[in-house]
Structure 1
């Protein structure tokens, strides 16, 4: 697979992101199915997403968003979604997207980057830890997914 190009999303990426989001959805990393509504809306604008494309096709994305609207929390950004197409897995794309998100967050003036990850998603947790994120909190059995109670893990890192 050729090296992916990572860039800020544009409105024309919507259809490709809908397809990618639906193809990669799983209770391993998500608590509810992808919405039927458009991918972009007033809360999820293209500028919040970094997308990875190879040969003109979207193969991954990561979403950066403000965790709250509080002025006292304005120095923090949060990863609120990461997806990699099946055919692009195992090639370092998730790591590249996380690193791009770290650089984008720094460029936006953030001092911290946080995220939430499901406790049973060991591969994602290991990747985040390898990229400098540490567990900062655990909400035990926060979600019931496929008949199993799953912890919600808060991770973060300084920028």
Structure 2
């Protein structure tokens, strides 16, 4: 079963960007530089990433090593959303490695460049991770999102996730405390 979703056309927003086909695929070694640029750009564009603007200290070589690890470790996946030649989003998912947690897949990151927000990329990437998780035999997806990130929470809820808990003062963003919402989705057969 393939976990790649080819030729997804996101809904346009009047800018003409909706006409470009989107490919959700496993990140490759030759994506390292572009992926690092994408990660840093997203960190700079939104307060809802764990890294603050300019804080991500990875090098291209570090990113390449992450991609090698993702390719070698069963249960670790790094996917990118590519629009034309541009990397527009990424997601990182990890399945539990122990007998008691193997049924869980944690979505550690889901990020989209601002110019591609509300075009269907986040939804497509989340659906891709779910398909991958089902292929791994997972029974549960879980993630955390910053409580103030209404757009992300709305997306996750529309995809069947429910709020399962709240971690108070989990983040300090621009001098203000922000809670984290713990969300989960049970994968029915």
The TM-score with structure 1 as length reference comes to 0.90
1:4 maps to 22
Question: Offset of 1:58 from its aligned partner?
Answer: 1.1
Q: 1:21 aligns with which of 39, 43, 51?
A: 39
| Unmatched tracts of structure 2, length 5 or more | 1-16, 72-76
Q: Which has the larger radius of gyration?
A: 2
Q: 1:119 to 1:63 in 2, by over 3 A?
A: same
Q: In the alignment, which residue of structure 1 is the partner of 2:13? A: none
The alignment yields a C-alpha RMSD, in angstroms, of: 1.9
Deviation of 1:42 (Å) = 5.7
* Higher RCO structure, 1 or 2 (CA under 8 Å, sep 6+): 1
State the TM-score, normalizing by the size of structure 2. 0.76
Spell out, residue by residue over 1:9-62, the C-alpha distance to the aligned partner (whole angstroms, 9 max, x if none).
111111111000000113323255323342244698344111111212211111
Where in structure 1 are there 5+ consecutive unaligned residues? none
Judge conservation of contact 2:27–2:67 (CA < 8 Å) in 1: no
Single out whichever of 37-46 and 124-133 deviates more from structure 2. Answer: 37-46
In structure 2, distance between residues paired with 1:28 and 1:77:
21
Cα pair 1:143 1:151 within 8 Å, conserved:
yes
Alignment correspondent of 1:36: 58
Instruction: Give the whole-Å Cα distance in 1 for the aligned partners of 2:146 and 2:177.
Output: 10
For these two proteins, the number of residue pairs brought into alignment is 158
- 2:79 pairs with 1:55: no
After superposition, the Cα gap between the structure-2 partners of 1:143 and 1:65, relative to the gap in structure 1 and judged at 3 Å, is same
With over 3 angstroms needed to count, the CA separation of the structure-2 counterparts of 1:35 and 1:111, relative to structure 1, is farther
- In structure 1, the residue corresponding to 2:177 is in which secondary structure? strand
Q: Which runs of 4+ in 1 moved over 6 A?
A: none
- 1:105 and 1:94, CA in 2 relative to 1: closer, same or farther beyond 3 A? same
